[in-house]
């Protein structure tokens, strides 16, 4: 099967076709920015975009992605590696502590802002309710989302 | 000697410490040695390499240490490259625990940088020099204006995080690497367990099967392990099902076993508890003005990164190990002992850790990876599943508290705090039962942390019992300080009520430590303590305060506002925290640590608990052991008090005030004193269910 990840089409060998999208991204393609946190869809660390929608890659069989382009945290930056506005906002607000959850937070935020370019706090909280952070970066995440949306952080 | 090898390998100037000079860099473990203090800071052709002697796990210590180095060297930010070292790069340093990094490592680092700066200024560019013990006043990095002009520096590895670059142990990939897992009985490793049988043929028939590994080293506690190795991570699940191991488990327990073991009433009826923190003489018979029982349950760390390790043996038998551990050198020492290797045949590389909170202090998954790699003769990656994290990791011990106080003229006169808990520093995840009889003679400073009352009272008695439980317990952010402070500050709040006094004024009148009184005043003023939040028609609102000192040197006070609706749903609406950890190097990141601790305090009140059933921790996912979500986290305001005292810890301080403030706010809003945590909506409900 063929998988389109971050605009690059890769052949997925048979031995990897029964795997989750998460496992293929990390261990076959070496795109390790997407994280394993729970494996059952409740932490959000593995969030990627499949066909433009935020998805939990731990629960998504890679075989289900044959027709849909996949975008991971590594694919957010623009030409020449310019940071995506959400990534830039994350740095401006110094969001990360350990950083392990942050790829998922950022991917969920990019999907949110695509649906709702000016989310209020309730919309932010609802969109990110499934992205756990144990370090307690939530207040900064909210600020970074507002900043990325062009609002006052 | 290693130092010479290092010198011949690098043309440049480096600084290290002489063993024996009066600097607190000599680790308690492993034992100090002359060869032990290798260079942390090195210069080569106008650039500097900072080999971080601490583990980076989200406290952003890499950033703070780089600030110290830049300030002291007078170097631009981009001239210093921070490297997370392997055990072969620097001399042994002790574990990254207890919020000690700035306090104990920043000053020696600054001294090393000052030595290097002065040597370069004197025209020296090659060789190796020993760090000079410059006095604190002579160091530039700790002047009040050290970093002020530059504003908050970019986080070290911050850009790599938002770009998703490989930073964590599970991101390590090696040529020919395969994936491993160690299967165990679904029971606490405190119970002896062994496999009765399994279907090896079915496992071998699964696509991707690499090896089935039986090795006595795979035992964790008393639980024997069966190792499986596969070509892909997903194949591990299929092989595990096909193998269908049947287990024998000796004995069993339930939550009731733990409740009975910790029950304080029979312990107090027998007389004094085994360990005393304060041994004042109190009158046990007379009536108490406040008498409170507080129960704090077993709780997980819940780091989003599950434990992981990658191990690879070279053809010469050398072991390379990548870890996400708070104690990189300890991992090496354990490998050496358990695998029978010389230290210099093992290189352990510490990766950025995806949250640890005390949980990544011992050797578990690392040994599993090494044993499987040796058996499979391939590099092996092992990452625990979330279910393994709950079942085979250790947790915050539950504790039961009974607090009694007597007042005289509106002041505390007698204080009696008795509690029972399980081991923290002498964790049962490492210490076998026979040895625990010995450690129990010493006590457990981790359990006692934060138990001493920070207020004046003529007679004080604080005592506790340690009970080895059938579940694994150990260090958790702040060790005993979080639960102990929650209990103490709940009782002090009741004392203020009994005295008919304002909760802030009552505390300030009796606080021993002026710095603690100062943060309390500061938090109260910032929160507008005198003006209670406006009442609302459809919900009860309340405000609470708490404060505390961590490890004798850092101080925090928190004011919390809450709302409770008729169904008992609790919402924290605002947290204000004042924090004093002495001289601050990076205010923004100290604030970040405070925010983290406030969220942990919130978690202690609304979420943290692990279910126990069928002889094990009965949680498989975050659904069974929730942590606060973004919608639970209120706006937080942090005020840093920096009066120039020596730098102390920020990583665990505010946890001593956050939970208590929220609990006291719940009491204020509802009239109900939370005594069992996490607070259940049912306890706060005014409507029939
Ligand atoms: S790893 Fe996919 S949601 Fe947790
Ligand atoms: S930054 Fe550590 S889990 Fe979110």
State in Å, rounded, how far the first CA of chain A is from the last one.
44
Please work out whether the CB of residue A46 comes within 6 Å of at least one atom of ligand 1.
yes
| Among protein residues, the one whose CA lies closest to atom 2 of ligand 2 | A98
Q: What does the alpha-carbon distance between residue A5 and residue B67 come to, in Å, rounded to a whole number?
A: 38
Residue B368 contacts residue B418 (beta carbons within 8 Å): no
ipTM: 0.98
Would the pLDDT of B17 be above 70?
no
Q: Using omega within 30 degrees of 0 as the cis cutoff, is the peptide bond preceding B678 cis?
A: yes
Same domain, B632 and B548: yes
**CB of A108 less than 8 A from some CB of B:** no
Which ligand has an atom closest to residue A108 CA? 1
Q: How many angstroms does the Cα of residue B146 sit away from the middle of ligand 2?
A: 29
Q: Do A98 and B57 touch (CB under 8 A)?
A: yes
Predicted pLDDT of residue B437: 87
pLDDT tens per residue, range B127-157? 888 888 888 889 898 887 765 545 678 999 9
Mean pLDDT of chain B: 91
Contacts of A91 in chain B (CB under 8 A): 154-155, 158-159, 162
pLDDT tens per residue, range B372-389? 999 999 999 999 999 999
Contacts of B157 in chain A (CB under 8 A): 99
pLDDT tens per residue, range A79-97? 999 999 999 999 999 999 9
Would you call B231 helix, strand, or coil by DSSP? coil
Residue B390 lies in a domain: no
Q: Which domains does chain A have, with CATH numbers?
A: 2-75 (3.10.20.30), 79-148 (1.10.150.120)
Under DSSP, the state recorded for B480 is: T
Q: What tokens appear for B204 in the block?
A: 């071998």
B165, B235, B627: residue with CB nearest A134: B627
Residue B257 lies in a domain: no
Please work out whether the CB of residue A39 comes within 6 Å of at least one atom of ligand 1.
yes
Q: Which of residues 190-229 of B touch A (CB under 8 A)?
A: 207-208
Same domain, B525 and B441: yes
B165, B179, B386: residue with CB nearest A38: B386
Q: How many angstroms does the Cα of residue B307 sit away from the middle of ligand 1?
A: 15
Higher pLDDT, B535 or B613: B613
Percent of chain B with pLDDT over 90: 78
Residue B255 lies in a domain: no
* Residue to substitute in B56, B355, B603 for testing ligand 2 pocket (most ligand atoms within 8 angstroms of CB): B355
Please work out whether the CB of residue A85 comes within 6 Å of at least one atom of ligand 2.
no
Predicted pLDDT of residue B13: 61
Give the CA distances from residue B627 to residues A4, A128, B299, B354, B610, in Å, rounded to whole numbers and listed in that order. 35, 14, 10, 16, 11
Q: What tokens appear for B448 in the block?
A: 């006692």
Q: How many angstroms does the Cα of residue B267 sit away from the middle of ligand 1?
A: 44
Would the pLDDT of B6 be above 80?
no
Q: What does the alpha-carbon distance between residue B258 and residue B427 come to, in Å, rounded to a whole number?
A: 16
H or E segment to which residue B605 belongs: helix B587-606
CB environment B376-400: b (16+ within 10 A), e (fewer): bebbbbbbbbbbbbbbbbbbbbbbb
Residue B388 lies in a domain: no
Residue B258 lies in a domain: no
Predicted pLDDT of residue B24: 24
Q: Do B304 and A45 touch (CB under 8 A)?
A: yes
Higher pLDDT, B593 or A67: B593
Atom in ligand 1 nearest the alpha carbon of residue A59? 2
**CB of A82 less than 8 A from some CB of B:** no
Same domain, B318 and B444: no
Higher pLDDT, B530 or B630: B630
* Residue to substitute in A19, A33, A41, A62 for testing ligand 1 pocket (most ligand atoms within 8 angstroms of CB): A41
Residue B316 lies in a domain: yes
Mean pLDDT across B580-604: 95
For CA atoms B50, B55, B57, B58, the dihedral sign is negative
| Phi, psi dihedrals of residue B212, rounded to the nearest 5° | -115, 125
Same domain, B180 and B130: no
**CB of A80 less than 8 A from some CB of B:** no
**Which segments of B74-214 does DSSP mark as H helices, in order?**
107-121, 158-163, 200-205
Domain end, chosen from B117, B135, B163, is at B163
Q: SS3 string of B266-288?
A: HHHHCCCCCEEEEECCCCCCCCC
Mean pLDDT across B210-214: 98
Q: Do B623 and A140 touch (CB under 8 A)?
A: no
Instruction: Look at strands B275-279 and B459-466 and give their pairing.
Output: antiparallel
* Residue to substitute in A99, A103, A109, A130 for testing ligand 2 pocket (most ligand atoms within 8 angstroms of CB): A99
Contacts of B170 in chain A (CB under 8 A): 26, 32, 35-36
Higher pLDDT, B15 or B216: B216
Q: How many angstroms does the Cα of residue B354 sit away from the middle of ligand 2?
A: 7
Same domain, B51 and B84: yes
Q: Do B163 and A87 touch (CB under 8 A)?
A: yes
pLDDT tens per residue, range B462-521? 999 999 999 999 999 999 999 999 999 999 999 999 999 999 999 999 999 999 999 999
B540, β-bridge pairs: B564
Residue A104 contacts residue A44 (beta carbons within 8 Å): yes
Same domain, B490 and B421: yes
Q: What does the alpha-carbon distance between residue B420 and residue B267 come to, in Å, rounded to a whole number?
A: 9
Q: What does the alpha-carbon distance between residue B492 and residue B496 come to, in Å, rounded to a whole number?
A: 6
Q: Which of residues 565-624 of B touch A (CB under 8 A)?
A: 588-589, 592, 595-600, 620-623
Q: Do A129 and B630 touch (CB under 8 A)?
A: yes
**Which segments of B198-309 does DSSP mark as H helices, in order?**
200-205, 233-243, 255-262, 264-269
Would the pLDDT of B347 be above 90?
yes
Q: What does the alpha-carbon distance between residue A124 and residue A139 come to, in Å, rounded to a whole number?
A: 11
- What's the pLDDT band for B626 if we cut at 50, 70, 90? very high
Same domain, B594 and B614: yes
Percent of chain A with pLDDT over 70: 100
Q: What does the alpha-carbon distance between residue A35 and residue B355 come to, in Å, rounded to a whole number?
A: 13
Predicted pLDDT of residue B35: 36
Atom in ligand 2 nearest the alpha carbon of residue A136? 4
Higher pLDDT, A63 or B16: A63
Q: At what angle do helices A102-115 and A138-148 cross, to 10 degrees?
A: 40
- What's the pLDDT band for B28 if we cut at 50, 70, 90? very low
DSSP per residue over B15-44, as a string? EE--TTSS-TTS-SSSPP-GGG---SEEEE
H or E segment to which residue B71 belongs: helix B61-73
| Phi, psi dihedrals of residue B519, rounded to the nearest 5° | -65, -35
Q: What does the alpha-carbon distance between residue B460 and residue B510 come to, in Å, rounded to a whole number?
A: 13
- Beta-strand ranges (E) seen in chain A are 2-5, 8-11, 47-50, 53-56, 70-71
Give the CA distances from residue B493 to residues A10, B388, B513, B656, B660, in Å, rounded to whole numbers and listed in that order. 63, 39, 18, 14, 9
Same domain, B86 and B145: yes
Give the CA distances from residue B373 to residues B176, B201, B316, in Å, rounded to whole numbers and listed in that order. 11, 22, 14
Domain count across chain B: 3
Q: Is B141 left (phi over 0), alpha (psi -120 to 50) or beta?
A: alpha
Higher pLDDT, B391 or B433: B391
- What's the pLDDT band for B14 if we cut at 50, 70, 90? low
Full domain range(s) for residue B357: 169-250+307-383
Give the CA distances from residue B499 to residues A56, B547, B559, in Å, rounded to whole numbers and listed in that order. 54, 19, 20
Domain end, chosen from B383, B414, B441, is at B383
**CB of A99 less than 8 A from some CB of B:** yes
Q: What does the alpha-carbon distance between residue B415 and residue B285 come to, in Å, rounded to a whole number?
A: 13
Q: How many angstroms does the Cα of residue A87 sit away from the middle of ligand 2?
A: 15
Q: How many CB atoms lie within 10 A of CB B31?
A: 9
Residue B689 lies in a domain: no
Residue B558 contacts residue B654 (beta carbons within 8 Å): yes
Q: By CA distance, what is A81's nearest residue in B? A: B163
pLDDT tens per residue, range B299-316? 999 999 999 999 999 999
Q: What is the residue-level pLDDT of chain A in tens, covering all 153 positions?
A: 999 999 999 999 999 999 999 999 999 999 999 999 999 999 999 999 999 999 999 999 999 999 899 999 999 999 999 999 999 999 999 999 999 999 999 999 999 999 999 999 999 999 999 999 999 999 999 999 999 999 878
Residue B656 lies in a domain: yes
- What's the pLDDT band for B451 if we cut at 50, 70, 90? very high
Which candidate, B406, B20, B371, places its Cα nearest to that of B217? B371
Q: How many angstroms does the Cα of residue A103 sit away from the middle of ligand 2?
A: 10
Q: What is the pTM of this model?
A: 0.94
Quote the distance between the C-alpha of residue A77 and its chain's center.
12
Same domain, B516 and B622: yes
Residue B332 contacts residue B348 (beta carbons within 8 Å): yes
Please work out whether the CB of residue A42 comes within 6 Å of at least one atom of ligand 1.
yes
Same domain, B102 and B32: yes
Q: What does the alpha-carbon distance between residue B640 and residue B594 come to, in Å, rounded to a whole number?
A: 10
Predicted pLDDT of residue B150: 59
* Residue to substitute in A137, A138, A139, A140 for testing ligand 2 pocket (most ligand atoms within 8 angstroms of CB): A137
Please work out whether the CB of residue A37 comes within 6 Å of at least one atom of ligand 1.
yes
Contacts of B232 in chain A (CB under 8 A): 15-16, 18-19, 23, 27-28
Q: What tokens appear for B329 in the block?
A: 């050198």
Q: What does the alpha-carbon distance between residue B197 and residue B248 come to, in Å, rounded to a whole number?
A: 9
Predicted pLDDT of residue B11: 47
Q: By CA distance, what is A61's nearest residue in B? A: B234
Atom in ligand 2 nearest the alpha carbon of residue A135? 2
Residue B543 contacts residue B532 (beta carbons within 8 Å): yes
Predicted pLDDT of residue B557: 98
Contacts of B598 in chain A (CB under 8 A): 136
Q: Do B207 and A15 touch (CB under 8 A)?
A: yes
Residue B324 contacts residue A70 (beta carbons within 8 Å): no
CATH number of the domain within which B320 lies: 3.30.365.10
Q: How many CB atoms lie within 10 A of CB B111?
A: 25
Predicted pLDDT of residue A5: 98
Please work out whether the CB of residue A44 comes within 6 Å of at least one atom of ligand 1.
yes
Predicted pLDDT of residue B159: 97
**CB of A83 less than 8 A from some CB of B:** yes
Same domain, B544 and B415: yes
For CA atoms B484, B489, B490, B492, the dihedral sign is positive
Residue B491 contacts residue B292 (beta carbons within 8 Å): yes
**CB of A64 less than 8 A from some CB of B:** no
pLDDT tens per residue, range B152-186? 789 999 999 999 999 999 999 999 999 999 999 99
Predicted pLDDT of residue B29: 47
Same domain, B531 and B583: yes
pLDDT tens per residue, range B80-118? 999 999 998 888 888 888 777 777 788 888 888 998 999
CATH number of the domain within which B95 lies: 3.30.365
CA gyration radius, chain B: 26
CB environment B310-328: b (16+ within 10 A), e (fewer): bbbbeeeeebbbbbbbbbb
**CB of A128 less than 8 A from some CB of B:** yes
Mean pLDDT across B550-559: 96
The length of chain A in residues reads 153
Q: At what angle do helices B655-670 and B587-606 cross, to 10 degrees?
A: 50
* Residue to substitute in B58, B306, B592, B630 for testing ligand 2 pocket (most ligand atoms within 8 angstroms of CB): B58
**CB of A69 less than 8 A from some CB of B:** no
Domain end, chosen from B102, B133, B163, is at B163
């Amino acid at each position: 099967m063929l998988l389109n990840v971050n605009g690059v089409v890769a052949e997925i060998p048979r031995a990897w076709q029964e795997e989750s999208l998460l496992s293929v991204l990390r261990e076959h393609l070496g795109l390790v920015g997407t994280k394993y946190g729970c494996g059952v869809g409740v932490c959000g660390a593995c969030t990627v975009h499949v066909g433009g929608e935020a998805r939990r890659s731990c629960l998504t069989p890679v075989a289900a992605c044959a027709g849909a382009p996949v975008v991971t945290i590594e694919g957010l930056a623009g030409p020449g590696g310019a940071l995506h506005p959400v990534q830039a906002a994350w740095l401006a607000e110094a969001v990360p502590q350990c950083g392990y959850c942050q790829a998922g937070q950022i991917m969920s935020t990019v999907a949110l802002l695509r649906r709702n370019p000016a989310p209020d706090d309730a919309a932010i909280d609802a969109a990110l309710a499934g992205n756990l952070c144990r370090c307690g970066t939530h207040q900064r995440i909210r600020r970074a989302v507002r900043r990325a949306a062009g609002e006052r952080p | 000697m290693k130092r010479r090898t290092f010198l011949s390998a690098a043309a440049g100037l480096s600084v290290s410490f002489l063993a024996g000079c009066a600097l607190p860099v000599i680790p308690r473990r492993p034992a100090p040695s002359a060869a032990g203090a290798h260079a942390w800071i090195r210069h080569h052709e106008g650039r500097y390499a900072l080999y971080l002697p601490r583990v980076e796990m989200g406290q952003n210590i890499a950033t703070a240490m780089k600030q110290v180095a830049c300030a002291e060297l007078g170097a631009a930010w981009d001239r210093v490259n921070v490297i997370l070292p392997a055990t072969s790069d620097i001399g042994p340093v002790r574990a990254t625990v207890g919020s000690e990094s700035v306090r104990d490592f920043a000053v020696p680092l600054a001294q090393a940088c000052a030595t290097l700066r002065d040597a370069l200024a004197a025209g020296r560019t090659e060789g190796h020099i020993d760090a000079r013990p410059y006095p604190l006043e002579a160091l530039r990095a700790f002047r009040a204006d050290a970093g002020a002009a530059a504003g908050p520096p970019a986080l070290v590895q911050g850009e790599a995080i938002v770009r998703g670059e490989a930073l964590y142990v599970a991101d390590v990939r090696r040529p020919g690497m395969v994936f491993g897992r160690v299967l165990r009985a679904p029971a606490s490793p405190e119970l002896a367990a062994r496999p009765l049988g399994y279907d090896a043929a079915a496992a071998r028939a699964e696509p991707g099967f690499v090896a089935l590994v039986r090795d006595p080293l795979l035992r964790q506690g008393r639980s024997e392990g069966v190792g499986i190795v596969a070509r892909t991570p997903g194949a591990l699940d299929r092989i595990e099902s096909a193998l269908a191991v049947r287990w024998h488990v000796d004995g069993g327990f339930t939550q009731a076993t733990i409740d009975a073991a910790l029950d304080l009433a029979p312990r107090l009826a027998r007389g004094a508890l085994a360990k005393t923190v304060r041994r004042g003489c109190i009158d046990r018979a007379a009536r108490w003005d406040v008498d409170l029982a507080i129960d704090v349950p077993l709780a997980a760390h819940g780091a989003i990164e599950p434990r992981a390790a990658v191990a690879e043996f070279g053809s010469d038998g050398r072991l390379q190990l990548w870890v996400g551990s708070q104690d990189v050198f300890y991992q090496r020492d354990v490998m050496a002992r358990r695998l029978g290797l010389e230290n210099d045949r093992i290189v352990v590389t510490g990766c950025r850790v995806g949250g640890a909170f005390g949980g990544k202090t011992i050797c578990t998954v690392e040994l599993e990876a090494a044993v499987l790699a040796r058996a499979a003769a391939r590099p092996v990656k092992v990452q625990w599943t979330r279910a393994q994290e709950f079942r085979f990791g250790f947790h915050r011990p539950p504790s039961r508290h009974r607090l009694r106080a007597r007042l005289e003229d509106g002041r505390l006169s007698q204080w009696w705090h008795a509690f029972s808990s399980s081991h923290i520093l002498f964790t049962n995840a490492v210490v076998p039962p026979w040895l625990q009889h010995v450690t129990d003679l010493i006590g457990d400073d981790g359990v006692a942390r934060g138990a001493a009352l920070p207020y004046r009272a003529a007679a004080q008695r604080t005592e506790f019992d340690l009970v080895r439980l059938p579940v694994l317990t150990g260090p958790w952010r702040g060790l005993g300080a979080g639960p102990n402070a929650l209990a103490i500050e709940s009782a002090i709040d009741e004392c203020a009520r009994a005295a008919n006094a304002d909760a802030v004024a009552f505390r300030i009148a009796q606080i021993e430590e002026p710095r603690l009184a100062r943060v309390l005043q500061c938090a109260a003023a910032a929160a507008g303590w005198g003006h209670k939040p406006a009442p609302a028609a459809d919900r009860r609102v309340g405000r609470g305060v708490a404060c505390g000192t961590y490890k004798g040197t850092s101080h925090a006070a928190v004011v919390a506002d809450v709302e409770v609706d008729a169904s008992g749903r609790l919402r924290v609406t605002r947290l204000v925290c004042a924090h004093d950890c002495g001289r601050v190097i990076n205010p923004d990141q100290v604030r970040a640590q405070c925010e983290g601790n406030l969220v942990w305090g919130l978690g202690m009140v609304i979420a943290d608990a692990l279910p126990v059933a069928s002889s094990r921790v009965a949680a498989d996912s975050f659904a069974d052991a929730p942590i606060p979500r973004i919608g639970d986290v209120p706006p937080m305001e942090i005020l840093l008090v920096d009066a120039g005292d020596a730098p102390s810890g920020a990583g665990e301080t505010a946890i001593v005030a956050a939970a208590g403030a929220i609990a006291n706010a719940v009491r204020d809003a509802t009239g109900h004193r939370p005594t069992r945590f996490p607070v259940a909506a049912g306890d706060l409900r005014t409507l029939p269910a």
